[in-house]
Amino acid sequence: MSGGNFSLRFLTPSFQIGIFLILSFFPSFFIISESNSKVILDPLLQRAWISDAEEEESRSFHRFLSEFKNKQSTVKKKDAHGRNYLVSPSGQMRFLIDDEYYKEFPVEDEADIAAKELEALYEVRKEKEAVFLGKGIHLCYRLKLETDPGFFPNWLVRSNEITNRAANEWSDQTIPLDLVSEPFGCYVGKSKPKDQLVLESESFRYRIRFSSKLRYEGLFGDRLGIYGENRDSIYRMVRFVQFLSNYLPAGQTEWDEALKLQTSGKKKKNLPKIILSIGSSFDKTRPLRDTKNYFRFWDSMRSLTPTQIRKLGYKRTESKSEYLSEWTEVDEIGNTVEMEMKEYYLYNAPRGYFLSLSYPKREKETADLYWQTIRSSFEVKE
């Protein structure tokens, strides 16, 4: 073949020696150049610039990019609530409104993920859920801004835009938007991302913080609490519930309880619980109440009539602008449960507020800790 004429073995000895010298010379040249300390380098290249660049990337670019830039396929992840979202190889994220999705408050540390959840809700035309979440996301932003004054994430503008658009599209509905989108909240925490919930209401202008173990009933179905409006006033009460483990009185076994349930015709016994109630009212016209009798308004809203008070053996004592109420309940199988309720009322016409925490008396230590946080954090905007 003609190509063989160009192989090395057909070259003359003098050509072979020349090529050998050239190949031997170049590697030593490169080695000497690299090791020559007299060569002047760019000062920026004399530091560990690769690690610095990666750190800068993690701060300034999408926080998922570093983790997924070497992945070749989309990865499914879960947020702090255990719901699904997808992250592409380029770091783009898409939240999934699937069978495992459920309504929740956003988490401060994952507000960027919640912003993608907001986009997904708006895409499937869930306007009221979008407004509820959007207000919570903006609360997360404001809470972060309190500790980091320069904080301004790139997802904030888009989130506010979608929230406002969803609110405008809901304006023609018969149900007031405030009823389905308030109160809104944001989970925060130092040791854990969801230790506490910060809750706000724009309509009634309050903020409060308490344990995230108390779960908002409005997250489940249409349990929006008590709401009413007439020519004189508007009022709203919402509840947060923590279900406790079953409690058996001394000397009673689970078999005894099951037998009593069967005998009584009950299918199951309701679990004991701690309940936080937050009430707010607004007088449209003249002041309708005063600081001394404001509690009676909320007694009527809770159907706490004189007849019911006598039936329960209800006793209320006042101490330092607060009340402690005590009564006895009877559960489904006839066991008596000693109950307590801490109450606080604030009336500054035209607005009024009511806080209560009810619990089995055996949970008093936990309730005292909850109440301390609730009372110390409750704020009303002027």
In angstroms, rounded to a whole number, what is the distance separating the alpha carbons of residues 326 and 189? 33
Does residue 370 contact residue 340 with C-beta atoms inside 8 Å?
Answer: no
- Supply the DSSP string of 66-110, one letter for each residue: HHHTT-SS-EEEE-TTS-EEEE-TTS-EEE--STT------BGGG
Tell me the pLDDT tens digit for each residue of 186-241: 999 988 889 999 999 999 999 999 999 999 999 998 888 999 988 889 999 999 99
Before 350, cis peptide (omega within 30)?
A: yes
Q: Does pLDDT of 94 surpass 80?
A: yes
Q: How confident is the model at residue 252 (pLDDT cuts 50, 70, 90)?
A: confident
Residue 280's contacts (CB-CB under 8 Å, 6 or more residues apart) are: 201, 204, 206, 235, 236, 237, 351, 352, 353, 354
As given in the structure block, the two tokens for residue 258 are 């099951």
Q: How confident is the model at residue 359 (pLDDT cuts 50, 70, 90)?
A: very high
> Domain segments of the chain: what residues?
73-188, 204-381
Of the candidates 90, 130, 91, the one whose C-alpha atom is nearest the C-alpha of residue 114 is 130
Q: What is the DSSP letter of 304?
A: -
**Helix/strand/coil for 40:** coil
Q: Which of 66-70, 126-130, 202-206 has the lowest mean pLDDT?
A: 66-70
In angstroms, rounded to a whole number, what is the distance separating the alpha carbons of residues 171 and 173? 6
**Predicted local distance difference test score (pLDDT) of residue 245:** 85
Q: Does pLDDT of 68 surpass 80?
A: no
Does residue 82 contact residue 124 with C-beta atoms inside 8 Å?
Answer: no
Taking domain 204-381, whether its CATH number is 3.40.1000 is answered by yes
Q: Which position has the higher pLDDT, 72 or 276? A: 276
Range among 215-224, 309-318, 356-365 with highest mean pLDDT value: 356-365
Interior CA angle at 220 toward 215 and 224, to 5°?
Answer: 85
Mean local confidence (pLDDT), 309-320: 88
Q: What is the CA radius of gyration of the chain?
A: 33
The per-residue pLDDT of the chain, averaged, comes to 82
**Predicted local distance difference test score (pLDDT) of residue 369:** 97
Mean local confidence (pLDDT), 124-149: 94
